[in-house]
Amino acid sequence: MNLLTSSVLVTLLMLTFPIMMTSTTMYANKSYPQYVKTATSYAFMISLIPTMMFLHLGQDTMISNWHWITIQTMKLSLSFKLDYFSMIFMPVALFVTWSIMEFSMWYMHSDPNINRFFKYLLLFLITMMILVTANNMFQLFIGWEGVGIMSFLLIGWWYGRTDANTAALQAILYNRIGDVGLILAMAWFLMNLNTWDLQQIFMTNNENLTIPLAGLLLAATGKSAQFGLHPWLPSAMEGPTPVSALLHSSTMVVAGVFLLIRFHPLMEYNKTIQTITLCLGAITTLFTTICALTQNDIKKIVAFSTSSQLGLMMVTIGINQPYLAFLHICTHAFFKAMLFMCSGSIIHSLNDEQDIRKMGGLFKALPFTTTSLIVGSLALTGMPFLTGFYSKDLIIETANTSCTNAWALLLTLVATSMTAAYSTRIMFFALLGQPRFNPIITINENNPLLINSIKRLLFGSIFAGFLISHNLTPTTTPQMTMPHYLKMMAIAVTILGFILALELNLTMQSLKFKYPTNLFKFSSMLGYFPTIIHRLMTKTNLLMSQKSASTLLDMIWLEKILPKSISHFQMKSSMIISSQKGLIKLYFMSFMLTLALSLLTLNFHE
């Protein structure tokens, strides 16, 4: 028991050492990336100790270190909550980050600022850890904003490119809208429950918690790219592939879902928020899957896939299964990061080609990447007994057998089949068939950094689901019996999606491409959402503000109505009426003479 708290603190402290080395000569060294990677791997191994202790003991722990500030009746201290969620997420996140750092040692090899890149990655990891282990909402907010800032810095890594800057700014803006929800929740908790500590929030029995929960839902919508605040996630693919793998697939975007999972004791009794979450998640997952079907950039397809899985996690929260959603977060991290790393390997091998219409025939040229891409896609779609199966299939089974919104359920099932469809599309276009790229000799996957990192995540994608779900303490009883058609539902729609996509792809190879239909245009333009929202709303706002503030108030009311009209009127009338000639001195002189004469001659006071 003694070792648990100190191991956690050692883990967190170990991650900060490379940051503290920034001012020394180590930072200018060529071996700094290696140092950072080793620090992360050691942190992972040490973090396994408290996790296994937690699994054995089953006790939640809380570390409360340093009394920060006391504002009248609220006491803020640096406190870490080591419960089920943070204890299991920490080693998963550290493992995935370790692999991604090793991958980016290969991917960003020729970048002159590679040390800064690693520092940013590590800063992101630290803020994510702060978010995950936070026990009070202030610390959570620090982690929340921290991951937002690091996301901005990392998406705009190649800041010479306009699109990258726009995408980074877009990420910040959409996250900010979500942050308003988080601040609303924090303010509500402070005013009504007088605390920001999670323990006290969960203790009080409050009936009407809709307002803060709605705020938290808005925060999750912003951070986890749910429908309405989702365009930043595909745009965030402007960043380097390791950034996409770390931030926008496994770690940062699950922060929103993690927030909702943290507050699940409050959400259990609020049916309204659960229904809203369910419907929002269902819409998100279907919409983003539709958009993913017609994209041509391999990273964008995987980004939409991430968005769709996030919608699925929201659906899980909506049916009141936070532990399943958390399991899906952990398993999803493995195969999604691996999918991104495989696409990074393909992109680098084809000399930075990201369009799947220009790939092909990599089945024989990049065998290891092909293997891991196929395994990752199968894990994503929920192939039985791979990683994704343990979480995704359970989610769909639970949704099928629970008393929930049938429409949301239908959307989720359709999205599941489409997941298989676009996975087939990636595999078909990138790997199979004849090569459609220029004959180049940069196709090389022989680097041990690349191979080892993908291999680790490959093992994770195959075994992690089994290992994690069999070692966890069971929390809610899963539904054991159900009609056989419900049990087979998930696998059936997935196989349907696979077969349909394969048939369509094979058939379309020899047909001529006609003009795109309306449905194709809808899917390809991402549902026209960015086009409408990014242009229409801002133009309306600016136009209205210009008309009301500048034109109406300033020009008309303040300038024209009284001052200018008075002067105009006076000038016109004086020009018409008066007959003076402007002989001022004469007028003054006559005035003075009259005054003097009258004072001298008329002495009335005597």
Burial class of 419 by CB neighbour count within 10 A (0 to 12, 13 to 18, 19+): buried
Stretch touching another protein by CB under 8 A, among 31-39, 392-400, 472-480, 584-592: 584-592
How many C-beta atoms surround the C-beta of residue 183 within 10 A? 15
Which pair of structure tokens corresponds to residue 195? 């605390």
Give the other-Cβ count within 10 Å of 606's Cβ. Answer: 3
Q: 418, 289 in Cβ contact below 8 A?
A: yes
Q: Does residue 536 bind another protein (CB under 8 A)?
A: no
Residue number with CB closer to another protein (488 or 592): 592
588 touching another protein, by CB under 8 A: yes
User: Per CB under 8 A, which of residues 174..203 are in contact with another protein?
Assistant: none
Member of 30, 514, 585, 603 binding another protein (CB under 8 A): 585
Read off φ and ψ for residue 361, nearest 5 degrees.
65, 25
Minimum CB separation of residue 579 from another protein in Å reads 9
Closest distance to another protein from the beta carbon of 584 (Å):
5
User: In angstroms, rounded to a whole number, what is the distance separating the alpha carbons of residues 328 and 394?
Assistant: 9
Single out the residue of 406, 575, 600, 602 in contact with another protein (rule: CB under 8 A): 575
Q: Binding to another protein (CB under 8 A): which residues in 494-533?
A: none
Please tell me the distance from the alpha carbon of residue 8 to that of residue 252, in angstroms, as a whole number: 21
| Residue number with CB closer to another protein (352 or 606) | 606
Figure out which of the listed residues 180, 556, 591, 597 binds another protein, where binding follows CB under 8 A. Answer: 591
The closest alpha carbon to 234, from 524, 546, 548, belongs to: 524
Q: How far is the CB of 582 from another protein (least distance, A)?
A: 5
Stretch that binds another protein, among 278-286, 424-432, 442-450, 587-595 (CB under 8 A): 587-595
Q: How far is the CB of 554 from another protein (least distance, A)?
A: 21
Which lies closer to another protein via its Cβ, residue 1 or residue 575? 575
Closer of 474 and 582 to another protein (Cβ): 582
Total number of residues shown for the chain: 606
Bridge partner list, 75: 70
Residue 562 binds to another protein (criterion: CB under 8 A): no
Looking at the Cβ atoms of 561 and 592, the one nearer to another protein is 592
Is residue 604 within the footprint of another protein (CB under 8 A)?
Answer: no
Shortest distance in whole angstroms from residue 591 CB to another protein: 6
| Part of the chain binding another protein (CB under 8 A), chosen from 14-22, 371-379, 408-416, 568-576 | 568-576
Nearer to another protein, 517 or 578 (CB): 578
Q: Quote the CA–CA distance of 591 and 597 in Å, as a whole number.
A: 10
- Which residue in 73, 578, 598, 603 binds another protein (CB under 8 A)? 578
Contact between 550 and another protein (CB under 8 A)? no
Show Cβ contacts of residue 161 under 8 Å, excluding neighbours closer than 6 positions. Answer: 238
Q: Quick check: 592 binds another protein (CB under 8 A)?
A: yes
What minimum distance in Å lies between the beta carbon of 581 and another protein? 6
Q: How far is the CB of 578 from another protein (least distance, A)?
A: 6
**Sign of the torsion formed by the C-alpha atoms of 254, 299, 332 and 48:** negative
In the complex, what is the shortest distance from the CB of residue 590 to another protein, in angstroms, rounded to a whole number? 9
* Number of neighbours of residue 320 by Cβ within 10 angstroms: 19
Name the minimum Å distance from CB 560 to another protein: 19
HEC profile for 462-501?
HHHHHHHHHHCCCCCCCCCCCCHHHHCHHHHHHHHHHHHH
Report the candidate in 333, 348, 345 with the shortest Cα–Cα distance to residue 371: 345
d(C-alpha 569, C-alpha 555), whole Å: 18
Residue 561 vs 583, nearer CB to another protein = 583
- Give me 71's structure tokens: 């504002």
d(CA 426, CA 301): 8
Candidate ranges 229-237, 276-284, 478-486, 569-577; the one touching another protein (CB under 8 A): 569-577
Piece in contact with another protein (CB under 8 A), picked from 116-124, 356-364, 510-518, 574-582: 574-582
> Given candidates 441, 584, 600, 602, which one binds another protein under the rule CB under 8 A?
584
* Site residue total, another protein (CB under 8 A): 14
| Residue 600 binds another protein (CB under 8 A) | no
**Looking at beta carbons only, is 565 or 574 nearer to another protein?**
574
Instruction: Establish if 576 lies at the interface with another protein (CB under 8 A).
Output: no
Stretch that binds another protein, among 240-248, 384-392, 476-484, 579-587 (CB under 8 A): 579-587
- By beta-carbon proximity to another protein, the closer residue of 508 and 596 is 596
Q: Segment near another protein (CB under 8 A), from 310-318, 525-533, 535-543, 576-584?
A: 576-584
If we measure between CA atoms, which residue out of 87, 239, 88, 107 comes closest to residue 167? 239
In the complex with another protein, which residue's Cβ is closer, 207 or 606? 606
Neighbours of 491 (CB within 10 A): 17
Cβ closer to another protein: 187 or 589?
589
DSSP-derived 3-state class of residue 377: helix
Rounded to whole angstroms, the Cα distance separating 331 from 380 reads 9
Instruction: Yes or no: say if 223 and 194 are a contact pair by the CB < 8 Å rule.
Output: no
Q: Give CA–CA dist 531/572, Å, rounded.
A: 53
* Interaction between residue 160 and another protein (CB under 8 A): no
**For residue 448, with 0-12 CB atoms within 10 Å meaning exposed, 13-18 middle and 19 or more buried, which class applies?**
exposed
Helix boundaries (H) for 353-488: 362-365, 367-381, 387-388, 394-401, 406-431, 448-471, 484-487
d(CA 249, CA 239): 13
Name which position in 571, 572, 573, 597 contacts another protein (CB under 8 A): 571
Q: How far is the CB of 557 from another protein (least distance, A)?
A: 22
Q: Are 397 and 481 a contacting pair, CB within 8 Å?
A: no
Q: What are residue 281's phi and psi, to 5 degrees?
A: -65, -40
Nearer to another protein, 403 or 575 (CB): 575
Piece in contact with another protein (CB under 8 A), picked from 289-297, 402-410, 541-549, 581-589: 581-589
C-alpha distances (whole Å) from 136 to each of 123, 181, 201, 469 are 21, 17, 10, 28
Among 515, 582, 598, 602, indicate the residue that binds another protein (CB under 8 A).
Answer: 582
Shortest distance, position 588 Cβ to another protein, whole Å? 4
Contact (CB, 8 A) for 334 and 460: yes
Q: Which residues bind another protein (CB under 8 A)?
A: 571, 574-575, 578, 580-585, 588-589, 591-592
